[in-house]
Amino acid sequence: MVQHRTDRTWHDIKERGGLLPLMLMLGFYRCGGRWLCRVVLYFIIMWYWLFAVTARKASLQYLQRLHQFAGTQSPFEAMPNWTNSYTHFMQFGECILDKIEGWLGHIPEQKLQLFGHEHFQQHYQKGTIIVVSHFGNIELLRAIKSEHPQKINVLVYQKHASQFNQFLKKINDKADVNLISVDELGIETAILLQEKMQQGEWVIVAADRVPVQSDRVQSVQFLGREATLPQGAWILANLLKVPVLAVFCYRAQQNFQVHIHSIAEQVDLPRKTRLSSMQHITQSYVTVLEQHCLRAPYQWFNFYQFWTK
């Protein structure tokens, strides 16, 4: 299904500072640890929450739609308000600190509570696609898995992938993770990823944000409303014919939960039923995503107009 979008999406919103904020927080962390970073983040998040109007409205919209979708199972006692939105932003700040600690190796694997770990164990050293979303802290999982002999590639829609690769190696030279910058899935990228699969590597791809200037999108129901999601992850899985896992990693009090779901042993999108087949598997993934939104409502980090209506 090809659609043309005119609403403001995530790539229309200017990034604030690129890698500079992360470099600064890393510096603060090395000087004063997590305590100093939290003090600094309090003022940064307050400024961002006050002046990033689009992000603030998107946060509240998400929280309220989650509440309405959940009904009696809502994680909130009442309709979320601006206080909940600010808490949402602060959780994003905490997530940044978790990323830094994860890459530095300061979070032991013992603090991970693994659910569905057998899916990982079955696919070590085997070509696999891992679909993720901007939910929780998947970067923490990459950092921890860097201690295992498993090569991981991450598809990112940004031009500074090589620069960020160097940054990751600088803070943790054991991080066996390679960022691959793509704006659209083409023949060259498909050939490269096919080689990665044959070498037993994993490829992580986000399944919740439409790439820049891409028409490969489809409409699905997310939290009871129509949303536009990319087709890229499923097209890739159909081309490569490898297993697909979905992974969610997020903070649960003082520990972290990692949930690993098997989405398909192989994605098959026949030409005659391609759109309906893709719709079905995408909706299956979204259903799992909704479950985690209910469990950890403040871990959704898409601060832009996500729904089409």
The pLDDT tens digits along the chain (309 residues) read: 444 444 545 444 444 445 666 778 888 888 888 899 999 989 999 999 999 999 999 999 999 999 999 999 999 999 999 999 999 999 999 988 888 887 777 877 778 888 998 998 899 889 999 999 999 988 766 555 555 678 888 887 665 555 666 666 666 666 656 778 776 566 778 889 999 999 999 999 989 987 766 678 888 999 999 999 988 899 999 999 999 999 999 988 888 999 999 999 999 988 899 889 999 999 999 999 999 999 999 999 999 989 976
Give the model's pLDDT for residue 100: 82
Give the model's pLDDT for residue 183: 63
Q: Is residue 174 part of a domain?
A: yes
Q: Is residue 160 part of a domain?
A: yes
Q: Is residue 307 part of a domain?
A: no
Give the model's pLDDT for residue 185: 63
Q: How many domains does the chain fold into?
A: 1
Q: Is residue 119 part of a domain?
A: yes
Q: Is residue 2 part of a domain?
A: no
State the Cα–Cα distance between residues 255 and 63, nearest whole angstrom: 23
Question: Whole-prediction pTM value?
Answer: 0.86
Q: Domain range holding 92?
A: 10-299
Q: Is residue 34 part of a domain?
A: yes
Q: Note whether 183 and 211 are within 8 A (CB).
A: yes
- The DSSP string of the chain is -B----S--GGGSPPSSTTHHHHHHHHHHHHHHHHHHHHHHHHHHHHHHHH-HHHHHHHHHHHHHHHHHHGGG-SSSS---HHHHHHHHHHHHHHHHHHHHHHHT-S-GGGEEEESHHHHHTTTTS-EEEEE-SBB-HHHHHHHHTTSS--EEEEE--TTHHHHHHHHHHH-TT--EEEEE-SS--HHHHHHHHHHHHTT-EEEEESSSPPTT--BEEEEEETTEEEEEESHHHHHHHHHT--EEEEEEEEETTEEEEEEEEEESS----STTHHHHHHHHHHHHHHHHHHHHHHSGGGB---S--B--
Q: Is residue 133 part of a domain?
A: yes
Give the model's pLDDT for residue 261: 96
Q: Is residue 289 part of a domain?
A: yes
What are the tokens at 100? 């830094």
Give the model's pLDDT for residue 45: 93
